Amino acid sequence: MISYAKDTYPLFTDKDVRGMSKFFDLRSFGDVKARSEQISNRIRGIGGSVIPPPPPNGDGPWSQEKIDLFEAWVKEGCQP
């Protein structure tokens, strides 16, 4: 099983967490689950600029492996 605590949480860097803190908390299972569809789109550049943003604001777009892992977490129903 793919879980937020084991798999999804470590995908987010402290820079991501700080950058997003005024919108929602990437370290919160509930917040990330609630926005999973939007996050899934934006990491693929759908519905807005690709996230995370390039330096210096962010650490740039994710690798395909990270995207696939997040997508698999969503597909399995966003397990805690």
Distance (Å, whole) CA 25 – CA 19: 10
Confirm or reject binding of residue 23 to ligand HEM (CB under 6 A).
yes
**CB of 49 or CB of 64, closer to ligand HEM:** 49
Give backbone dihedrals phi and psi of 78, rounded to 5 degrees, phi first.
50, 65
Q: Which stretch binds ligand HEM (CB under 6 A): 2-10, 17-25, 71-79?
A: 17-25
Shortest Cβ 37–ligand HEM spacing (Å):
9
Distances (CA, A) of 7 to 13, 47, 70, 76: 13, 25, 8, 12
**CB of 19 or CB of 73, closer to ligand HEM:** 19
